[in-house]
Amino acid sequence: MPTALSSARRRQRHGHSFLSYSTLLLISVFCIVPFFWIFLSSFDGDAQLFLHWPQQWTFDNYTRVFTVEDGGLWLFNSLFIVGCATILVVVLAGFGGYALSRSRAWWKLPFLYGILLIRVLPPTALVVPLYTILLTLNNWESAILRPIFGGLTRDIMRWTGFIDGYLGIILVLAAMQLPLALWIMKTFFDSVSPEYEEAAIIDGASLVQRIRYVLIPLALPGLAAAGLFSFIFAWGDFLMPLIFLSSPELQTLPLGLFRAFLRVNEIDYGLLAAISIIYLLPPAAAFVFARRFLVATFTGGVKG
Amino acid sequence: MKHRRRTAAWQLNLLLFPSALILALFIIYPALYSVYMSFTNEALVGPSARNPSLVGFRNYLRLFGDAEFWNALYVTLVFVVGSAIIGQFVLGLASALALTRRIRFRSLFSVFILLPNAAPEVVAGFMWISMLAGGDNATLSRIVMFFGITPPDWLQVFPLWMIIIVNTWRGIATAMILLSAGLSTIPQDVLEAARIDGARPFQIFRRITLPLMLPTIVLYMLISAVSTIAVFGLIYTLTRGGPGGATELVSIYIYNQSFTAFQLGYGAAVSVIVLLISMAIGIAYVRMMAVKV
Amino acid sequence: MQSRILALGACALTLLATTSIAGAQTIRIAEHRQARIDALNTVVPAIEESLGIEIEVIEYPAPERDYLTRLLTELRAGNAPDLFTAPRGQDVADMVASGYLAPITPDIQAWTDYDQLFDVAVELVTSYDGEIYVLPQMLNVQQIYFRRDILEEHGISTEQPATWADLLDRAREIREVTGAYALLFPSGVTWGGGAFGEGFQYLMAGTPTPELAGEDGTLNLRTDGVRDALNFYADLINDDLMPVQPLLGPEPWVIPKYEMFPAGELVATTCGSWCYIYDWGPESRNPIPDVTQAVGTWAMPGQDGGVHVMVDIDSPWAVNADSAELELATQVLFEIGSVEAAVAYAERLGNIPARRDAADNPDFQALTALVPVHANVENGTFLRTAPGFSVLAEGVARATDALLRQETDADGAHEILVEYVVNFLGDDAVN
C-alpha cells in the first residue's frame, strides 16, 4: 500500500514538474523574444528595424558609441546622477520610513496614502510647475554666486545648478522615487520588532546611537531593496533628463538614445541597439544579482 | 516616561522632515500648482501664455463634454484591468507558483522573467516596435506566419490588445517578486498536512494558498493599479496614443493636451480629475478590503 | 504666479550681475535635425571669428512636435537659447503673442542686405501688429508633386488640373487605371502642424474666402470655404484615393512619402521643393532616379479655377526676447541670414533662400532643381496669419483625423474644428 501511494504521488509530482516547466518555458520565451532583435542588431554591421541574422558580425556599433558619440560621458553622467539620487533616496527613506513606522501621529495614514496616490499623477502633469520651481531656485543661486565667482559661475552651476545642473536632476529623480522607497522602508521597519530598540533605550542609548548600532544593521536588506528599485526606476526615466538637461556635457544615456531615435529617417539601428544594450546592462545586472534577496526582503514586508 | 515619548515623537518628525521637504517642494507643490493651473487658460504659446487669466470651471465643463477625455478614461481602465489586474497578476502568480518547486534551471527562468522589468521604458518601446511594427517583417508577424496565419498590422488592428500585452510583459517580474514573497510566508507544515490528508493540488491552492495570500494580493493590486495608471514612456514610444486615440491613456492624453496642443490649463484639469478618480478608487479599495498599514 | 514674479526678480538680479562682469560671450543656438545642424555648422566658425564670440549649437529633438514642445517649455520658463527657429510660418504669430520673440523691425530695415530679401518674404514676416520678429532665411514653395513617369506609362494626362473637381477626377482616374493610391493631403493629429501647413491652407487659398485671419483679430472659420475644404478631404478618403492607415500611426509621413511614393504605390502628394532634395533626392533613403524628370509638379487649382503655388517662410529665425545678450544675438541672427548660410541649408534640405542674390551663388546654381523655383518665388500665394493659428492648426488636425477615421462627414468635421477653436479662444474669437 505505502509503495503504491508514494508511486502515485511521484507520478503526480512528475506531472507537476512538467506543468511547471511548460509554464515557465512559455513565460520565459514571451519575456526574452523581444530582446533578440536589440541584441543581434547591436552586433550587426547592417542592422534594420526588423529581426534578421547578422551577415557581418561586428563590434563596430559599440566602438562608435564611445568614439563617434560621447558614450563614455553619457554613461558616466547616468551612473553619477542616478547613483547620487539612489543614495539620497536610501538615506532619506531609511530615516523617513523608520519615523513613519514608529510614529503614531494622526497624519500618518493620510500621509502614506497621499504619497502613494500621488504616484498616479503622470510625471507629464508635474513637469511645467516643476520647471518653474527649479528655475526660480536656479536664478536665486546664480544671483548669489555670480557676484562672488564671476565668470566661473557657469562651471560651478554645472554641478550645483537646478536647471541644466547635476544637483537639480538628482533632486528631481530622488523626489520621484521617494514615495515608493518610503513605503518599502516603512513596511520593512514594521516587521522589525521594537524590542531591540527598547532594550537599547533602557541601556541609555541616544537616538543617534540607536540608529547607528541597532537600526542600520537591521535595516540593511530593506535599504538595499529600496535602493535597487529607486536605481532601476530612476535609471529608466527619460522625461526628466529630457526636460531639465540641455548642455552636451550633461547628456545621459537615455538622452543619447532618444536623440539617436529621433533622427527620424536617418536612424542608425546598429548604433541605437548598441546604446540600448549598454543602457540596459546596469539595471539588468542589478536585478539578476539581487533577485534572491529581493524575495526574502519582501517576505518580511508582506508578513508585517 | 511620558516626557520621553514626546521627545521621541519630536525626533521622529525630525527624521521625516527631509523627505517631507523634498516631497513638498518637488511633488506636492507642483501638484497643487496644477490644481491652480486647471482653473486658468494657461498655455505654452499664444496670447494666454503671456497673460493667463482665471476661467473658473470652463476647463472642467469642457472636459465633461469631451469625447476624447472619456475615451482616454475608458482606454486607461481597460489597460489597467487587462495588464495589471489580469495579465501581470496571472502570469506573475503562475511563475511564482512554478518557481516554488525544486526544478532545474530555476534561476535561469527567473532571470529571463526579470529581464523585461530591468529594460528602461525607451528601450522596451524600441524592442516592441521591432516586434509589432513593419508589416510582415515584424517579429510577431513572422512567428504567426510560421504557423501559417496571415499576420494583421498589429498596432493598427489590435492596438489596445497590443499595449496590454506589452505592459503585461514588462510587469510580470514585479508581480512574481511580490507574490513569491507572499507564497513563502505560507507555513510549509500546513501545506504538508493538507497533502497528507489527501487534498488535491488545486484544492490546496483554493482553500489554503489563496486565502493566506489574500493580503499580499490586495497590496499588489493596489500598487500595480496605481503605478499602471501613470505608465507613459513605454506606450508613448510605441504608439503616441494612436491610431486615432485607440491607445491614448490618460497620461498620454494629458501630455498631448499640454505639450502638443499646448493647453496647459486644460491638461491640468484632466490631471486633477484623474487624481480625484484614483483617490476615490484607492479609498474605496482600502475601506472594502480593510487593509491595515 | 508668485513664483513667476520671484523668477522675474531673480532674472533681473542675474542680469545686473552679468552686465557688471565682462566674461567670454557665448550665444546659444537651438537647432534640430542632423541635416539642419550640419548646415548651421558650416557657417558657425566664420561667425565666431567675425564677431569674436563663442557659439554653442544645442541639438534639439528632430521631430517638429518634440522640438516645439521642448523649445516652448523653455521659452515659457525663460531659459531658452538666444536664437532658435519657429518650424513653420503658422507658428510665428502665436509666439509673438506670447511675448517670446524680440522685435527686430529697426534692425532688419537697417540691415545692409535688407534690399536683397524678396518682397514676398518681407510681407510674410511682417506680423499682424506691423512689427517684424523673425528673419526669413529660407522660403518653402509648395504644390502638388506627381509621378510623371507613372502617369505617362498609363496614358493618363499630366496636364495641370483646372479646378478641385478636375483634380479629384484625375485622382479617381489614377486610382482606377494604376491601382495605386492617387493623391495624399497630409492630415490627422499625428502629422501635427502639417495638416494645416501642407494641406489645408492650399485648399483655403483656392476658395472664395481664403483669409482665415479676420481684420479684427478674429478667425473666419464659419465659412463655406472651410466646409468645402474639409469636404475635399472627405472625398479623397471616402473614394479611397489616399492611404488612410499609415496616417493614423506615429510618424505618419514615413510610409506614404518615403516608401509608397518612391515605390509608385502613391502617385501624387502635396509637397514642397524640399521633396526633390530631402525626400526623394540623391541624399534620401529611397531616392527616385532622375527625380526632376520622373516627378512633375502641378500648381494647386482653385475651387472654381485659377491656380496658385503656396509660398511660406520656412523655419524663420528669431531672437529670444529674454536673451541676456539681445544685441549680440541680433548680430548673429543677421549673419545666419547670409547667402552662404542660406545655400548651406538649401543644399541639405531643398528649401529656397529668401534673398534674390542667392541666384548669383555658384553653389546654389548647382542645385538645378531649386533654381527655377527660386526665380518664380514672387508669384507665390500665401495666407495671412494671426494669433490663434496654433490652435487653429490643431483644430484642423483633429477635424481631418475624424475624417480619416470616417467618423463624420465634412459638416461634422467643420463642427469639430469650430468647437475646438471656440473652446480655447472663446466664442467671440471665431466668425
Cα–Cα distances in angstroms (integers) from residue B105 to residues A28, A43, A132, B112, C285, in the given order: 11, 27, 52, 11, 46
CATH code, domain carrying B101: 1.10.3720.10
Given an 8 Å threshold on Cβ–Cβ distance, is B9 in contact with A103?
Answer: yes
Q: How confident is the model at residue C4 (pLDDT cuts 50, 70, 90)?
A: very low
List the grid coordinates of C16. Answer: 545686473
Distance from C-alpha of A99 to C-alpha of B9, rounded to nearest angstrom: 9
User: Which has the minimum average pLDDT: A219-233, C174-188, C296-310?
Assistant: A219-233
**Each residue of C105-140: b (16+ CB within 10 Å) or e?**
eebbeebeeeebbbebbeebbebbeeebbbbbbbbb
Distance from C-alpha of C206 to C-alpha of C302, rounded to nearest angstrom: 4
Residue B116, preceding bond cis, omega within 30 degrees?
A: no
Q: For residue A272, what are the contacts with CB-CB under 8 A and spacing of at least 6?
A: A41, A47, A257, A260, A261, B126
The DSSP-derived string for C241-274 is -S--HHHHSSSTTIIIIIIIHHHTSEEEEEEETH
Residue of B nearest to C76 (CA): B44
Q: How many domains does chain B have?
A: 1
Query: Which one has a higher pLDDT value, A300 or A35?
Result: A35
**pLDDT tens column, A1-56:** 444 445 555 555 566 678 888 999 999 999 999 999 999 999 988 877 788 888 88
Given an 8 Å threshold on Cβ–Cβ distance, is C10 in contact with A143?
Answer: yes
**pLDDT tens column, C196-249:** 999 999 999 999 999 999 888 889 999 999 999 999 999 999 999 999 988 887
Domain annotation covers residue B20:
no
> Helix (H, G, I), strand (E, B), or coil: what is residue C381?
strand
Alpha-helical (H) ranges within A53-194 are 60-67, 71-102, 108-117, 123-149, 153-160, 166-190
Domain annotation covers residue A193:
yes
Structural domain of residue B259, as residue ranges?
A: 66-289
Q: How confident is the model at residue C21 (pLDDT cuts 50, 70, 90)?
A: very low
Q: Mean pLDDT: which of B171-185, C52-66, C215-229 is highest?
A: C215-229
> Helix (H, G, I), strand (E, B), or coil: what is residue C180?
coil
Residue of A nearest to B170 (CA): A31
Distance from C-alpha of C138 to C-alpha of C121, rounded to nearest angstrom: 9
Asked if residue C185 has pLDDT above 90, the reply is yes
Domain annotation covers residue A162:
yes
List the grid coordinates of A51. Answer: 529581426
What mean pLDDT, rounded, does chain B reach? 85
**Beta-carbon neighbour count of residue B90 at 10 Å?**
13
**pLDDT tens column, B55-67:** 889 899 988 888 8
Q: In this predicted structure, what is the pLDDT of residue C132? A: 94
Q: Are strands C26-32 and C54-60 parallel, antiparallel or unpaired?
A: parallel
The fold of the C141-309+385-429 domain, in CATH, is: D-Maltodextrin-Binding Protein; domain 2 (3.40.190)
Tell me what the mean pLDDT of segment C379-398 comes to.
91
Beta-bridged to residue C208, according to DSSP, are none
Domain annotation covers residue B182:
yes
Tell me the shortest Cα–Cα distance from B169 to chain C, in angstroms: 22
Residue of C nearest to A242 (CA): C70
User: Which has the minimum average pLDDT: A161-170, A262-271, C359-368, C386-395?
Assistant: A262-271
CATH code, domain carrying A92: 1.10.3720.10
Q: How confident is the model at residue C3 (pLDDT cuts 50, 70, 90)?
A: very low
Domain annotation covers residue B21:
no
Q: Does domain C23-136+312-378 have CATH number 1.10.3720.10?
A: no
Asked if residue A301 has pLDDT above 70, the reply is no
Q: For residue B228, what are the contacts with CB-CB under 8 A and spacing of at least 6?
A: B79, B80, B83, B84, B167, B171
Asked if residue A143 has pLDDT above 70, the reply is yes
Backbone angles phi, psi at A87, to 5 degrees: -60, -45
Tell me what the mean pLDDT of segment C328-333 comes to.
94
> Helix (H, G, I), strand (E, B), or coil: what is residue C297?
strand
Asked if residue C344 has pLDDT above 70, the reply is yes
CB of C59 within 8 Å of any CB in chain A? yes
- Our measurement of the distance from residue A46's CA atom to the centroid of its chain's CA atoms, rounded to an integer in Å, reads 33
Share of chain C above pLDDT 70, in %: 94
Q: In this predicted structure, what is the pLDDT of residue C5? A: 44
Pick among C1, C8, C248 to test the B interface (most B CBs inside 10 A): C248
Distance from C-alpha of B163 to C-alpha of C36, rounded to nearest angstrom: 35
Domain annotation covers residue A151:
yes
> Helix (H, G, I), strand (E, B), or coil: what is residue C134?
strand
CB of B46 within 8 Å of any CB in chain C? yes
CB of B291 within 8 Å of any CB in chain A? no
Q: In this predicted structure, what is the pLDDT of residue B82? A: 95
State the greatest distance between any 2 C-alpha atoms of chain C, in Å, as a whole number: 74
Tell me what the mean pLDDT of segment C67-72 comes to.
88
Domain annotation covers residue B8:
no
The residues spanned by each domain of chain C are 23-136+312-378, 141-309+385-429
Contact C55, C351 (CB under 8 A): no
Tell me the shortest Cα–Cα distance from A255 to chain B, in angstroms: 10
**pLDDT tens column, C88-121:** 888 999 999 999 999 999 999 999 999 999 999 9
CB of C281 within 8 Å of any CB in chain A? no
**pLDDT tens column, B146-165:** 898 888 888 888 999 999 99
What mean pLDDT, rounded, does chain C reach? 88
Q: In this predicted structure, what is the pLDDT of residue C8? A: 43
Tell me C101's DSSP state: B
Please, which residues 44-83 of chain B have a Cβ atom closer than 8 Å to chain A?
A: none
A246: which chain C residues are within 8 Å (Cβ-Cβ)? 58, 74
Q: How many domains does chain A have?
A: 1
What mean pLDDT, rounded, does chain A reach? 83
Q: In this predicted structure, what is the pLDDT of residue C76? A: 85
Tell me what the mean pLDDT of segment A169-186 comes to.
91
> Helix (H, G, I), strand (E, B), or coil: what is residue C286?
coil
Share of chain B above pLDDT 70, in %: 95
Distance from C-alpha of B290 to C-alpha of B41, rounded to nearest angstrom: 41
Going by C-alpha positions, the residue among C126, C186, C175 that lies closest to residue C151 is: C175
**pLDDT tens column, A185-233:** 888 888 777 777 778 778 887 778 877 888 788 888 888 888 988 998 8
Distance from C-alpha of C103 to C-alpha of C101, rounded to nearest angstrom: 6
**List of chains touching C (3+ CB pairs within 8 A):** A, B
Q: In this predicted structure, what is the pLDDT of residue A233? A: 87
Per CATH, C23-136+312-378 and C141-309+385-429 having the same topology is answered yes
C65: which chain B residues are within 8 Å (Cβ-Cβ)? 260
Please, which residues 190-209 of chain B have a Cβ atom closer than 8 Å to chain A?
A: 201
Tell me which residue in B240, B259, B262 faces C190 most closely, judged by beta carbons. Answer: B240
Domain annotation covers residue A48:
no
Q: In this predicted structure, what is the pLDDT of residue C14? A: 44
CB of C405 within 8 Å of any CB in chain B? yes
Amino acid found at A53: W
CB of B129 within 8 Å of any CB in chain C? no
Domain annotation covers residue B36:
no
Given an 8 Å threshold on Cβ–Cβ distance, is A124 in contact with B201?
Answer: no
Pick among B2, B21, B27 to test the A interface (most A CBs inside 10 A): B27
Residue of B nearest to C402 (CA): B244
